[in-house]
Amino acid sequence: MACLFAVGLKSQTTVTLSPASDAAIGYHDGANTAGNNYGTAPQLAAFAIPATAQPGGLNVNRGLIKFDLSSIPGNAIISDAKLDLYAYGPIGTYNGHTGSGSGNSFYLERVTTAWNETTVTWNNQPTTNLLSYVSLPGTTMPTQDYLNTDVTGLIQNMFSSFNNGFLLRLAGENATNIIAFCSKDHPDPSKRPKLRVTYDTPTGISEAPGTHPLISCFPNPAKDEVSLYLSSPVTGPVKISICNPLGQIIKDQSFENAGADKFTMDISNLDRGLYYFFLTSGTDHLSGKFIAE
């Protein structure tokens, strides 16, 4: 059985993106640097090392990086995203990555608020979603590159809702541990971060007449359930179909509560990815899309 619209797919397209912005943020106990901006730093580093300005203190650093996804068509279906980070090498008195194994394991966390590389500091750093991240193992050598890191889920979420990039952070900010990569300001262009995104472009989506612009879903991305909100209550029974990008119905549900403007569906059994919903009530046909995590 097909959904109420048909979807065709063009051949896959892969684009390689350079960072739109990145910045180092950090503090140094005893040195009053938490308000400094390091938007032009040549390294994208996460570290925790002993503070030279205060015995027993710490010098802690994190990295922010964002890729502009606007070149990808708005109706694209992202199937794969891989991130390449290249080792920076010696940093200060250290040889490069320091604290191998679990000591310098680190996270790429999804950033949830906006930031500007020319003004961001440790003190005003953006928030992150601690449940939306990629965990990476510690290093085995001081100059280890991290290539082909799978960030598909994070990029799908950024593309479907808001994109504030990644935060690079040590799993445990304890001395002495260092992860040091090249930033977009590194003098060697070949060492700058790269993001490869592969997507399909749906074509021929033919929705039923009367598609209403004032329908939304929350949360989006969603994990266990998603709620559809209408601009005004419907007057009769409702049927909601959830379809995959191939137009196949994954889930059907009927609601008899006429007069409602919110409908919640269980999506805990859906695989991660893009889905379309189609709501029918009498002669009203409303549609949209969401990401399942």
Asked if residue 167 and residue 49 are part of one domain, the reply reads: yes
Mean predicted confidence (pLDDT) in 113-139:
94
Average pLDDT, the chain: 86
Q: Is the pLDDT of residue 290 over 90?
A: no
Residue 162: pLDDT band with limits 50, 70, 90: confident
Instruction: Give residue-wise pLDDT tens across range 12-33.
Output: 789 999 999 999 999 999 999 9
Q: Is the pLDDT of residue 279 over 50?
A: yes
Measured over the CA atoms of residue 213, residue 219, residue 224 and residue 229, the dihedral's sign is: negative
Last residue of a domain, one of 173, 200, 227: 200
Asked if residue 115 and residue 147 are part of one domain, the reply reads: yes
Written as one letter, the residue type at 258 is A
Helix, strand, coil shares, percent, the chain, to 5: 5, 45, 45
pLDDT value of position 163: 93
Asked if residue 211 and residue 196 are part of one domain, the reply reads: no
Residue 147 in tokens: 């290539």
Mean predicted confidence (pLDDT) in 174-184:
97
Q: Which residues does 236 contact at the CB level (< 8 Å), separation at least 6? A: 258, 281, 282
pLDDT value of position 207: 41
Residue 54 in tokens: 């205060």
- The residue whose two tokens read 């590159």 is 145
In a domain, 5, yes or no: no
Asked if residue 160 and residue 282 are part of one domain, the reply reads: no
For 20, the enclosing helix (H) or strand (E) is strand 19-28
Instruction: Give residue-wise pLDDT tens across range 227-262.
Output: 888 777 777 788 888 888 766 778 888 887 667 788
Instruction: Give residue-wise pLDDT tens across range 75-110.
Output: 777 888 999 999 999 998 999 999 977 789 999 999
Residue 130: pLDDT band with limits 50, 70, 90: confident
pTM above 0.75, yes or no: no
Residue 284: pLDDT band with limits 50, 70, 90: low
Strands of 213-272 (E only): list them: 215-218, 225-230, 238-243, 249-255, 262-266
Q: How many domains does the chain have?
A: 2
Asked if residue 215 and residue 179 are part of one domain, the reply reads: no
DSSP assigned state of 227:
E
Q: Using CB atoms within 10 Å of the CB of residue 57, give its burial: 0 to 12 exposed, 13 to 18 middle, 19+ buried.
A: middle
Residue 41 in tokens: 């730093």
Asked if residue 221 and residue 194 are part of one domain, the reply reads: no
Asked if residue 196 and residue 51 are part of one domain, the reply reads: yes
Instruction: Give residue-wise pLDDT tens across range 185-197.
Output: 999 999 999 999 9
Q: Supply the range of the domain harboring residue 248.
A: 207-292
pLDDT value of position 209: 31
Asked if residue 35 and residue 149 are part of one domain, the reply reads: yes
pLDDT value of position 251: 87
Asked if residue 151 and residue 62 are part of one domain, the reply reads: yes
